[in-house]
Amino acid sequence: MEVYINGISAISPQKTYDNSLFLDEITEYSGDFLKVFKPNYKEFIKPNLLRRMSGIIRMGVVSARMAMQEANVENPDAIIVGTGLGCMTDTEKFLSSLINNKETFLTPTSFIQSTHNTVGAQIAVMISCNNYNMTYVNQNIAFETSLLDALMMFEEGKLENVLVGGLDEIISEIYELKKSINAWKTEPATISNLLSSKTRGCIAGEGSTFTVLSSNKTEQTYAKFIDVFTIYKATEDSLKAKLFQFLEKNNLTINDIDVIVTGNNGDYESDEMYNVFTESYFPKSTQVVYKHLIGEHGSASAFGYWLAAKILKTQTIPEIVNYRKKETKKIKNILVYNFDSYFKNNYSFVLLQEA
């Protein structure tokens, strides 16, 4: 049983929603946190509906539609969404009204839209999809848990297409709260110097990446989705053991990994961990990074997945993400590795292969 990536759409702080481009135009940071570079949402959602949608709902619904359009799928067999923090705009709106108005004069819209499964639900309503619908909310591995669920579905039965997404939004209130617990960089950074920073903290971003996984290979196919695993807590040894087990299960050794995509985000402590890990176990692989372009959030690693798929399809690695070049002939296997840099937990590995 093979699982193919037939559609993918990333709305991110870079102009990535246009799949004909591949990080051709880069937008430098401005402001405290990175907001998405928006496509024309009106092309996908009627204005009267759009009006009521928060940022995360817009980017989620639109990137989902774009991915389905690319894969030529109208009714997926399942819709599985992962989000770290969920619908922050509406949660904050309802919560602050609740507090400021002392539980009076409240309206339902923001309460309804604050539930974590709102995006998955709205996609289902829009396309009249009565099939399996799920939302995972386990922080930075929610997207990978969604991928795992999809993989299990393919293993369990004959289905054709599954829509999987990972998304998170950043709003100033959340930025400020996390600032108070030292999550972010305190000194100004640029794309080119972020990953050589010697301080803790990262840059806040947001984004939505949706993908269509299929049992059929088509001309659109980007790559094969082979496998995924996540671990809550690990020591260096237990992580190594799990990684080797994972590769072995998929008939691979570390030498077969041509590219490793890591979640370096400017937090020097975790970046060091990524780099030491890569040096130790993947000395011959090219190391690719992406969070200097899109910032950090609960679903940032979904962008890493997007990047891996694009690299496999185009067989090119844009300079701006090429962190440690090694000689690469054909790119066949890519491993996407991520963990939570603040807590040093929630590790994930996603394995993609040329189709």
What is the x/- site pattern for other proteins, positions 282-301, by CB under 8 A? --------------------
Asked if residue 85 binds other proteins (CB under 8 A), the reply is yes
Q: What are phi and psi of 156, to 5 degrees?
A: -80, -30
List beta partners, residue 338. Answer: 348
Separation CA 288–CA 269 (nearest Å): 18
Instruction: List residues bridging with 259 in a β-sheet.
Output: 286, 334
Q: Does 138 bind other proteins (CB under 8 A)?
A: yes
CB of 288 to other proteins, least distance (A): 27
R_g of the chain computed on alpha carbons: 19
Q: CB of residue 92 vs other proteins: minimum separation in angstroms?
A: 8
Binding of residue 94 to other proteins (CB under 8 A): yes
Among 55, 60, 120, 295, binds other proteins (CB under 8 A): 120
95 or 320: CB nearest other proteins: 95
Q: Which is nearer to other proteins, 14 or 113 (CB)?
A: 113
Binding residue for other proteins (CB under 8 A) from 106, 172, 186, 272?
106
**Residue 112 engages other proteins in binding (rule: CB under 8 A):** yes
Q: What does residue 333 show for φ and ψ, rounded to 5 degrees?
A: -120, 130
| Closer Cβ to other proteins, 170 or 293, answer by number | 170
- Of the candidate residues 40, 48, 104, 190, the single one contacting other proteins (CB under 8 A): 104
Quick one: 28 or 155, whose CB is closer to other proteins? 155
For other proteins, give the closer residue by CB, 105 or 327: 105
How many angstroms separate the first and last alpha carbons of the chain?
13
Work out the burial of residue 77: count CB atoms within 10 Å of its CB; fewer than 13 is exposed, 13-18 middle, 19 or more buried: buried
Residue 159 binding other proteins, by CB under 8 A = no
List, as one string, the DSSP characters of 223-292.
EEEEEEEEESS--HHHHHHHHHHHHHHTT--GGG--EEEE---S-HHHHHHHHHHHHHH-TTSEEEE-HH
| Binding positions for other proteins, 32-71, rule CB under 8 A | none
Residue 172 binding other proteins, by CB under 8 A: no
**CA–CA separation, 228 and 236 (whole Å):** 19
> What is the spatial distance between Cα 321 and Cα 249, in angstroms, rounded to a whole number?
29
Q: Is the dihedral of CA 62, 68, 70, 73 positive or negative?
A: negative
Amino acid (one-letter) located at 81: V
Q: What are phi and psi of 335, to 5 degrees?
A: -110, 130
List the one residue from 177, 217, 250, 314 that touches other proteins (CB under 8 A): 177
Among 1, 31, 158, 181, binds other proteins (CB under 8 A): 181
**Binding footprint of other proteins on the chain (CB under 8 A):** 79, 84-86, 94-96, 98-100, 102-104, 106-108, 111-118, 120-122, 124-125, 127-139, 142, 145, 149, 152, 155-156, 177-178, 180-181, 230-234, 238, 345
